[in-house]
Amino acid sequence: MTLDFGAIRTAADLLAITRVMEERSAERFLELAEAFDMSCNADAADAFRELAAMEDRHAAEFPAVDGLVPKVLPWGEEDPEIADPGAVHYLMHAWHAFDLALRHEEKALGFFEMISVQTSIPEVRAEALTLAERERGHVAFIKSRLAELPVPPEDWEDDPDPPNWDM
């Protein structure tokens, strides 16, 4: 991921960017939940709904962004907290949804750690360290949820009646 830290001049800038990250993640997980409802995969839909609610709670921990959302986001189009659509499969299990969320929480953790190392602005460094610690808590939570879920069988994506896309 190529990052542009020029948009982060204050701790308030970093907090605004963080709120945007959390809101976008919640939106993406909710979109996935709706898609899995349409695919009649209730377990994955419920998992993505749970993840969306979690991200909504995370976003609410930050002040609402007054004025314009930062025009230049450090990650460009590669938001570390937005789920990768290429990693989604219509037969995936709830375990897969949380595994996907774990990878993205780990990317967000790396994002804040990178800011804390690369910024020359003390208040931004301090906030980035605080946010990195917060992300470590998110990573630990997702790992605990993964441990509660059954690991899917190796042949989980085998479908004896695959969808007919030629309709």
Gap between the Cα atoms of 141 and 125, Å rounded: 24
Q: Tokens 């499969």 — which residue?
A: 89
39-57: pLDDT as tens digits:
889 999 999 999 999 999 9
Q: How confident is the model at residue 1 (pLDDT cuts 50, 70, 90)?
A: very low
70-96: pLDDT as tens digits:
554 555 555 555 556 677 788 889 999
Q: Has residue 112 got a pLDDT over 90?
A: yes
Domain 11-63+90-148, CATH 3.40.50.10490 — does that match? no
Half-sphere exposure for 154 (CA within 13 Å, toward CB): 0
List the structure tokens of 149: 């879920």
Cβ atoms within 10 Å of 63's Cβ, excluding its own: 10
Gap between the Cα atoms of 96 and 130, Å rounded: 29
Average pLDDT of the segment spanning 125-148? 96
Across the chain, mean pLDDT equals 85
**Which amino acid is residue 61, in one-letter code?**
E
Q: What is the dihedral of CA 69, 22, 47, 162, to 10 degrees?
A: 50
Chain CA centroid to CA 54, Å: 10
- Domains of the chain, by residue range, sit at 11-63+90-148
pLDDT at 76: 55
